[in-house]
């Protein structure tokens, strides 16, 4: 009897999820982009979060992003894209790609949010960035080697082009397969963003299998 009840509960839960998912409609819960981009890996469903380290909403959203990432399947390609809407945004975008070039982003990504929003260190000055990254083993010589390097400048340019193509005007925003935009406003709150994203991933996954 217990097994039967458990099975019935599972079916009811699945039905509820499917029923809820069917309510996600274009123009209401997500936006179809006027200008789409091709995924960097055509064999996978691409998900990109556009953010700014200095954005309070992005700071609040980051733990949700990291929690969602833990359950990603192998056919989903997730990455983050820093927006560059002003000089301060570009400085932080450069810091993001610099930490990738230095291979320390996994260690410092959350710490950068913490420094800016909880320690009141804006990390807009190169000396402040050097001192901050020194705590994570980055030497001044390595910082200078990669700072404003060709690779970092190239990534900055590509990121800016993508954000402009997508027509994004605010962050955080999540782009699914270069086609759909989901944000807190469309999803009905930050807590619902990845419900809509997961739904769109499943639609794109089905399309890939055809």
**Model confidence over 5-14: pLDDT tens digits?**
444 334 334 4
Domain count, the chain: 1
Confidence (pTM): 0.88
Residue 3 inside a domain? The answer is no
Residue 5 inside a domain? The answer is no
Task: Please say if the pLDDT value at position 131 is more than 60.
Answer: yes
CA distance 190 to 64: 8
**Domain span holding position 125:** 28-209
Q: Which of 116, 144, 110 is nearest to 130 (CA)?
A: 144
Q: What is the CATH number of the domain that holds 90?
A: 3.40.30.10
State pLDDT tens for residues 26-85. Answer: 999 999 999 999 999 999 999 999 999 999 999 999 999 999 999 999 999 999 999 999
Q: Which of 49, 29, 18 is nearest to 168 (CA)?
A: 49
State pLDDT tens for residues 162-193. Answer: 999 999 999 999 999 999 999 999 999 999 99
């Amino acid at each position: 009897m217990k097994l039967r009840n458990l099975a019935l509960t599972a079916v009811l839960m699945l039905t509820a999820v499917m029923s809820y998912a069917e309510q996600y409609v274009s123009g209401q819960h997500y936006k179809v982009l006027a200008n789409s981009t091709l995924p960097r890996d055509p064999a996978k469903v691409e998900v990109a979060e556009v953010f700014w380290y200095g954005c309070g909403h992005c700071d609040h959203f980051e733990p949700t992003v990291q929690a969602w990432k833990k359950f990603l399947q192998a056919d989903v390609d997730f990455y983050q894209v820093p927006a560059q809407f002003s000089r301060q945004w570009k400085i932080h975008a450069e810091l993001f790609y610099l930490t990738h070039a230095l291979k320390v982003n996994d260690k410092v990504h959350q710490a950068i949010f913490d420094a800016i929003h909880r320690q009141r260190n804006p990390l807009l000055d190169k000396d402040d960035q050097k001192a901050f990254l020194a705590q994570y083993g980055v030497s001044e010589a390595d910082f200078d080697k990669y700072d404003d390097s060709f690779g970092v400048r190239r990534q900055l340019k590509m990121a800016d082009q993508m954000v402009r193509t997508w027509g994004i005007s605010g962050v955080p925003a999540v782009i699914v397969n270069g086609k759909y935009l989901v944000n807190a406003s469309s999803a009905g709150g930050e807590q619902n963003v990845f419900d809509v994203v997961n739904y769109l991933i499943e639609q794109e996954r089905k399309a890939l299998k055809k």
